[in-house]
Amino acid sequence: MRKPLIAGNWKMNGTRANAGALARAIHDGAPFADVEVAVLPPFVHLPDVVAICEGGDVRVGAQNVADQASGAYTGEVSAAMLAEFGCRYALVGHSERRTHYGESDELVAKRFAAALAGGLVPILCVGETLAEREAGETESVIARQLAAVVEVAGDDAFADAVVAYEPVWAIGTGHTATPEQAQAVHAFVRQRVAQLDADHGERLRILYGGSMKAANAAALVAMEDVDGGLIGGASLVPDDFLSICRTAG
Ligand code: PEP
């Protein structure tokens, strides 16, 4: 039985005061029955958010992680640094990183491997653009993104990781994938991972992300292979985020 995970990706939003207030509201919304809840604030807000969430029900993660362990990599933050600050998760390969910052499948895979090596649980984002979906390339895109990770991190890559299926056309657009569209891709992801290791495939949590909100969360998480959500916009509104968490539980 997979415990659902709801993770809030705050992106580059908020002041220090906002971040603290948001973290406190979510922390105070606990306990959460039968669902794990995580928040992913900007790097600079991590210490405050970790301090607020310490000892409670809410886990904390980062929105990216360096592909190297340490050294002359200006602007990067290593997995060990994040782990030391109380992070459990790190997003890798969010489509905004792939699109705006040119992160390749190979770089994403290295970040994924570095997260694992540094003691974090990577949340690997995969997903197709609208043009790719319309060209019938959804599965080949996802297969390529997963294969890049296996190439670098090995056949056991998904033993202790999370995958987030985020169709690019659904992120921040209000156009959510239908539960059936999400289920089809989630089943495909699970089957690819199960080909490497049946147990890893069965245990893998696969989140849906892309305009998930309180109104559509129930139908999405009801699907067999949808094990929670990666939430952007709605994670900035405490009542909306808490409502999604309760629905997933
Ligand atoms: C995201 O950026 O990961 C995301 C899912 O955003 P939104 O929920 O706003 O579509």
Give me the pLDDT at residue 241, please.
97
End-to-end CA distance of the chain: 13
Residue 216 CA, ligand 1 centroid: distance in Å? 14
Mean pLDDT, range 131-157, rounded to an integer: 98
Residue 1's pLDDT band (boundaries 50, 70, 90)?
A: confident
Instruction: Find tokens 């979510």 and name the residue.
Output: 26
Among the listed residues 27, 36, 45, 94, the single catalytic one is 94
Burial (Cβ within 10 Å: 0-12, 13-18, ≥19) of residue 104: exposed
What string of DSSP letters covers 17-79? HHHHHHHHHHHHT---TT-EEEEE--GGGHHHHHHHHTTSSEEEEES---SSSSSS-TT---H
Residue 73 has pLDDT above 90, yes or no: yes
All domains in the chain, ordered by first residue? 5-248 (3.20.20.70)
Cα of 232 from ligand 1 centre, angstroms: 3
Contact 123, 157 (CB under 8 A): no
For the chain, what is the mean pLDDT? 97
Q: Known catalytic residue: 94?
A: yes
Local confidence band at 37 (pLDDT 50, 70, 90 cut-offs): very high
Residue 63, ligand 1, Cβ within 6 A: no
Q: Please report the pLDDT score of residue 75 as a whole number.
A: 97
Q: Is the pLDDT of residue 229 over 90?
A: yes
- Measured in Å, residue 48 CA sits from the centre of ligand 1 at 23
53-57 average pLDDT score: 95
What pLDDT does 25 receive?
98
- Cβ of 217 below 6 Å from ligand 1: no
Atom of ligand 1 nearest to the CA of 171: 10
Q: What is the pLDDT of residues 90-116, one digit of tens each?
A: 999 999 999 999 999 999 999 999 999
Token pair belonging to 215: 């109104």
Ligand 1 lined by 7 (C-beta under 6 Å): no
Over range 156-174, report the average pLDDT.
97
Q: Residue 18: is its pLDDT beyond 90?
A: yes
Residue carrying structure tokens 């657009």: 173
